[in-house]
Amino acid sequence: MIEEKSFACLSLLISIWKNWSKTNQTWVGEDDFRVVKPSIVMEIPRILFVGRPKRILLYFENPLKKSLTDCKMNFGGSRFVRAEEMSIGPVAPGEKVQVTYDLIPQTSGKHNILVTFTSKQLSNITGMATVEVTRDWRRFR
């Protein structure tokens, strides 16, 4: 079982420059902000078998102090699993979103699974895992 993790971060540096004409004084201020988006953690075996269903677990935590609405999770893979979209109910602040997905690989080889989450308040939350899909399931009993 593997857990694939990635991190997305937005960093802003804000500089303010102000000059008062009456006193001819100048003030300069700087502040930086970091917004860290969560990533979707995927619990999935490294080896899957063509035509054999496998349940995978996906999760992340809502980092915002407000509920997420109109939530959707999209699943896709590089030619080995059909793309699918799943609607999810509202997600409370700090709540852990946990979704199970039944995956049935269609072709053998090394493949990537990509999962994205979107809502009205938060978008572009992603997770990705690379798996090996084989036809010879007997050798891994």
Name which of 36, 62, 43 is nearest 121 in CA terms.
Answer: 62
Taking the C-alpha atoms of residue 102 and residue 89, their distance in angstroms, rounded to an integer, is: 19
Domain boundary assignment for the chain: 2-7+39-140
Confidence grade of residue 20 (pLDDT, cut at 50, 70, 90): confident
Give the pLDDT confidence score for residue 55 in this predicted structure.
92
Architecture of domain 2-7+39-140: Sandwich (2.60)
Per-residue model confidence (pLDDT) at position 57: 94
Which residues neighbour 65 within 8 Å (Cβ) at sequence distance 6 or greater?
A: 93, 94
Phi, psi of 115 (to 5 degrees): -125, 135
Give the model confidence (pLDDT) of 57-111 as tens digits. 999 999 888 999 999 999 888 776 778 899 999 999 999 999 998 888 888 889 8
| Max intra-chain CA distance, the chain | 85
Residue 60: predicted pLDDT:
93
CA-nearest of 19, 40, 42, 44 to 29 is 19
Rounded Cα distance, 6 and 71, in Å: 21
3-class DSSP state of 135:
coil
Each residue's pLDDT tens digit, 29-64: 888 766 678 889 999 998 899 888 999 999 999 988
What is the pLDDT, as a whole number, of residue 42? 93
